[in-house]
């Protein structure tokens, strides 16, 4: 939350500078209203759709909040929207999304609409680059709130970026994938990102094992 607060203050200072201010005597202490995100997914989505807290807001077409069953037992967390997601405003709708949908429907045997799908950042990083730490940490409170509201039993972290920002751990995905981590209110299972599987089809065997692990937890 501190990072969100700092980003808000930075934005405010930039606005004051544009207005001609060269000196600001005091930044008041943060108030609860700066920080409290709504306990309602629709209201949260509305806030996210207007977010301008990081540079990604300047280049996005649409924010990609996330979608699915608001009471899903299983949540998938990816890295950030790609080109198709940026245009449609929906997560995982491109080639990687098609593969993710097959993984959910053919292996887990649940409709895609029954799970919840979100990302670390809600706006597309230009050229699909990895989000910077500033972008990721600024956006993370939105994901934390989504997790708090959906209350999933299991979260599948898709790829190294999702795993890193959900846990703070820097262990590579090849090493950590398939492990079940107790995160208190949910179990976290890191696994390969579908884009990685498209580039490395031989890793699908391990991904399949991870999905069976997830299925066993549900």
| In the complex, minimum distance from the CB of residue 83 to ligand URA, in angstroms, rounded to a whole number | 9
Among 47, 63, 66, smallest CA distance to 8 is for 47
* 92 binds ligand URA per the rule CB under 6 A: yes
Q: How far apart are CA 21 and CA 144, in angstroms?
A: 35
* 152 binds ligand URA per the rule CB under 6 A: no
CA distances 120 to 77, 107, 137, 194, Å, are 7, 24, 9, 15
* 116 binds ligand URA per the rule CB under 6 A: no
Among the listed residues 7, 60, 72, 91, the single contact to ligand URA using CB under 6 A? 91
The closest residue (CB) to ligand URA is 78
* 75 binds ligand URA per the rule CB under 6 A: no
Alpha-carbon Rg for the chain, nearest whole angstrom, is 18
Q: Which is nearer to ligand URA, 131 or 141 (CB)?
A: 131
Among the listed residues 79, 86, 135, 210, the single contact to ligand URA using CB under 6 A? 79
* 80 binds ligand URA per the rule CB under 6 A: yes
Q: How far apart are CA 31 and CA 34, in angstroms?
A: 5
Q: How far apart are CA 14 and CA 47, in angstroms?
A: 20
Site residues for ligand URA per CB under 6 A? 64, 78-82, 85, 91-92, 96-97, 119
């Amino acid at each position: 939350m501190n990072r969100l607060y700092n980003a808000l203050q930075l934005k405010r200072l930039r606005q004051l500078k544009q207005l001609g201010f060269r000196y600001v005597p005091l930044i008041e202490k943060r108030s609860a209203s700066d920080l409290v995100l709504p306990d309602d997914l629709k209201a949260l989505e509305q806030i996210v759709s207007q977010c301008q807290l990081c540079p990604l807001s300047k280049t996005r077409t649409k924010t990609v909040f996330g979608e699915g069953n608001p009471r899903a037992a299983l949540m998938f967390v990816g890295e950030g929207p790609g080109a198709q997601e940026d245009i449609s405003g929906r997560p995982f709708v491109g080639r990687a999304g098609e593969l993710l949908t097959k993984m959910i429907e053919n292996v887990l045997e649940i409709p895609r609409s029954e799970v919840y799908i979100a990302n670390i950042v809600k706006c597309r990083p230009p050229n699909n680059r990895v989000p910077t730490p500033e972008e990721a940490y600024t956006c993370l409170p939105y994901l934390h709130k989504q997790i708090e509201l959906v209350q999933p039993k299991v979260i599948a972290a898709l790829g190294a970026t999702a795993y890193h920002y959900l846990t703070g751990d820097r262990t590579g995905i090849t090493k950590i994938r398939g492990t079940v981590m107790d995160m208190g209110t949910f179990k976290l299972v890191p696994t390969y990102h579908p884009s990685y599987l498209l580039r490395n089809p031989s890793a699908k065997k391990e991904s399949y094992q991870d999905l069976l692990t997830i299925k066993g937890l549900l």
